[in-house]
Structure 1
Amino acid sequence: MPLEHPVEIKITVGGDPTESPPGSVDEAVQALELPDGRARRIWFLEDLTPGLTQHLPMLETGQIFRVRLDEKKNGSREADATVKLRPARRTQLPHPWDRAHSAGEAPKDGTDGYEYRIEEDWAGTRRFLAASLKVDIDPVRLTPEDAPEDSRQSALPPREVFGEHHQRFLAACADRRVVLAALTPLGPIEGTRWKDVKVGKFTTMVERWTVEGLDFLELSIQLEAGSKGDPLERLIAFSTAVAARGLNPFSRQETKTRRVLEHLAHRAGA
């Protein structure tokens, strides 16, 4: 049966010092023969209200808030702000949020464009439907022209870049009302991305995330909507191809978002 939605299959390498000794991620980069990749910085927003029974309430209720800043090889920059519902239910996605769509023209909130996706995320035994709205933003809002070139922190709190389009998406689809101003920015995470990396017969996206005390690679492939491939068979074959390159996947496979949010929230609490 053709796939109703795209399926992204993810495998994590590294990320735990007890399983991955220092230098193991560097060795994985060498094993994959990766050239210089595209640098990026990533922030997440979470509710760190003291005394909550849930450690990561936004993540645990399926709401993810992310801001990215990409450094292009020609020296220019791109930035976007994303709200993702994961896991999402089909019953919480009314029209027009029941289908993927995008716009190249600026929405009402003055951004450059947006992309709305519905896809399945597979990481180990985890299978989630995810609905995400990515809105392009002006990178100057994150790194003003007069900011030091080596500045790591955003001069503008990332929560301020979520605009009307995100608010409409949340109002229509989210189970819980969110006051963005009450969320705490976490990060930045230093990232590097490589596209079109050959791993066996698979064309793979590779992304490295590094933040104090945490360093790992995520390798991912995507099955397009309408394709007839069995995702489970592809997962097994992809895992075999990764192992054949001498890489040792982390035993606790999960999304990189959860891994870094747990790390960043623990560090912020400490």
Structure 2
Amino acid sequence: MTGSAGPGPRLDSVELKVTFSGARAEVAAKALAPDDGGVWCQVFFCEGPRHRRPGELPLLEAGVILRLRSRQGRTGDTTAKLRPCRRTRIPGPWLDFRRRGDDELRLESDWAGERQVLSAALTRTRDRRDIDAVTAGERPLHTAFSGAQERFLADCADLAVDFRQLTVYGPVRAQRWRDVRRRHHELTVERWSLAPRTGPPLDWLEVSERVEPEGSEVVRASLLALLRKLDLEPDLEQETKTRRVLEALTRDA
């Protein structure tokens, strides 16, 4: 996938997202997820400061998402994401940054429901043991993130991020299937589940497809038509699972 080309603003891809929750998630999983069990992982998020008021999500409200994933096997990753992202906050050197070593930066349009939101995500591949050591409290949080990720946040985020003041929340159990072929679509199917101490269990299934910016409207219409043909009914409110998860996790803290 080449993304935008020429003199226009950089846009690497459009990620189409459709979510199902509750009973709809179970129906969609049976229709779309292969029987091989997929790849399991644990997902953690960071929020802060430690002494924030109940209900406050200062990082998320400022458009900053810090995520750690520990996957089945030996790999994991950390992501520093800005969503929504304003292009005016991304200096030229970062717009030129694509991949260096284990760090990769993507500028994408996340399209869920009728809303498109620009996001910029810098992801660092890590050994799973490094992630597990941080989430177990054996190592400081900042050791999970690279120097490039810290500089990216310092240069581009709307608030200063002090890793010493953050708390790690999770895990959320996730099951993921990649390269799921349905007609001419190549989908990623991901199911998240969480049983908070307070409130009902949370269960989502997200169907996503990363496509070229040009022609993304046509691909989206085709994807929605495919889901209708399978008698799958997406949630009316296509909100991000990140917010609902963080609200549940921090409520329990």
**Is the pair's TM-score, using the shorter chain for normalization, greater than 0.5?**
yes
Instruction: Indicate the residue corresponding to 1:9 in structure 2.
Output: 16
Instruction: Indicate the residue corresponding to 1:205 in structure 2.
Output: 188
- Letter of the structure 2 residue corresponding to residue 83 of structure 1: A
CA distance in 2, matches of 1:89, 1:130: 8
Instruction: Indicate the residue corresponding to 1:17 in structure 2.
Output: none
- Tell me which of 179, 193, 199 is aligned to 1:196: 179
CA distance in 2, matches of 1:9, 1:156: 37
Contact 1:84 1:131 in 2 (8 A): yes
- Tell me which of 137, 140, 147 is aligned to 2:126: 137
* C-alpha distance after superposition, 1:43-70 (max 9, x if no partner): 0001253337x72111111100000111
Bigger CA drift: 134-143 or 188-197? 134-143
CA distance in 2, matches of 1:245, 1:65: 35
- Letter of the structure 2 residue corresponding to residue 250 of structure 1: D
Contact 2:40 2:174 in 1 (8 A): yes
What SS does structure 2 have at the residue aligned with 1:133? strand
CA distance in 2, matches of 1:165, 1:209: 29
Cα shift at 1:103: 2.0
Instruction: Indicate the residue corresponding to 2:26 in structure 1.
Output: 26
2:243 corresponds to 1:258: yes
Contact 2:68 2:131 in 1 (8 A): no
Cα shift at 1:179: 0.9
* C-alpha distance after superposition, 1:228-253 (max 9, x if no partner): 31x33332321221122222211110
Contact 1:205 1:220 in 2 (8 A): yes
TM superposition score normalised by structure 1 = 0.80
2:75 corresponds to 1:78: yes
Structure 2, unpaired ranges of 5+: 5-9, 196-200
Instruction: Indicate the residue corresponding to 1:149 in structure 2.
Output: none
Closer/same/farther in 2, CA of residues 158 and 168 from structure 1, 3 Å limit: same
Instruction: Indicate the residue corresponding to 2:164 in structure 1.
Output: 181
What SS does structure 2 have at the residue aligned with 1:142? helix
CA distance in 2, matches of 1:179, 1:266: 22
CA distance in 2, matches of 1:92, 1:44: 23
- Tell me which of 111, 136, 155 is aligned to 1:122: 111
2:64 corresponds to 1:63: yes
Contact 2:14 2:108 in 1 (8 A): yes
What SS does structure 1 have at the residue aligned with 2:92? coil
Bigger CA drift: 34-43 or 241-250? 241-250
What SS does structure 1 have at the residue aligned with 2:148? helix
CA distance in 2, matches of 1:39, 1:170: 29
2:152 corresponds to 1:169: yes
Percentage identity across paired residues of the two chains: 37
TM superposition score normalised by structure 2 = 0.85
Cα shift at 1:138: 2.4
- Tell me which of 206, 221, 224 is aligned to 2:212: 224
* C-alpha distance after superposition, 1:113-132 (max 9, x if no partner): 11111111111122111111
* C-alpha distance after superposition, 1:65-90 (max 9, x if no partner): 0001111xxxx310111100111111
- Letter of the structure 2 residue corresponding to residue 97 of structure 1: W
RMSD: 2.1
What SS does structure 1 have at the residue aligned with 2:94? coil
Name the structure with the higher helix share.
2
Closer/same/farther in 2, CA of residues 158 and 41 from structure 1, 3 Å limit: farther
Structure 1, unpaired ranges of 5+: 15-19, 105-112, 145-152
What SS does structure 1 have at the residue aligned with 2:132? coil
Cα shift at 1:210: 0.9
